[in-house]
Structure 1
């Protein structure tokens, strides 16, 4: 299969053993969870127990997840901050652990090696 197919599955955020049972309630905050994040070259790296995720759910079924991590020691950070989205990598998708896969994601990699990935799900958009 194409490399891009593998990347699609790798970008999915790993949220294991979590039951999302909130409905129009407060945010569910989870610390020290596993995430797959995008590095400065568009590659994927696994960040075990270093993610901090906030799941929110609106009355329209929206959910959002944000993962924070640091690049592994063997990966070089960019000389200036990089912002990547699905427009830069159209084959990469993200999963919040709740709802369908999404192309609505943004990754930021800083010169200090910090990485932030945000995914949004809006299954019932208001038209």
Structure 2
């Protein structure tokens, strides 16, 4: 039995609606949902992901810079009316940071930074 359906030219095939909406006033279009910005949970997830990625840098200075830059960027864009462009920029920055973590791990310093040594000596 073949699963491929062939239609003759000009023939229209109608498929039943699997979820008929009994109340058309309550319908929500998918395009309207796609246009709306990211949810608060998605934004917090991006923030946490950027901080987790910053924690993976082997060099102390790069790690602290990425952490400061993440916090500063989110504070700066906190009150945007449409955060979708900043969110997409943040996602691209996350991908860049992940690639940089791999690159920096290849050339990791053999000696710890003075800041890392002093932090490890604290009780």
TM-score, normalising length: structure 2? 0.19
Q: TM-score, normalised by structure 1?
A: 0.19
Larger Rg: 2
- Higher strand fraction (1 or 2): 1
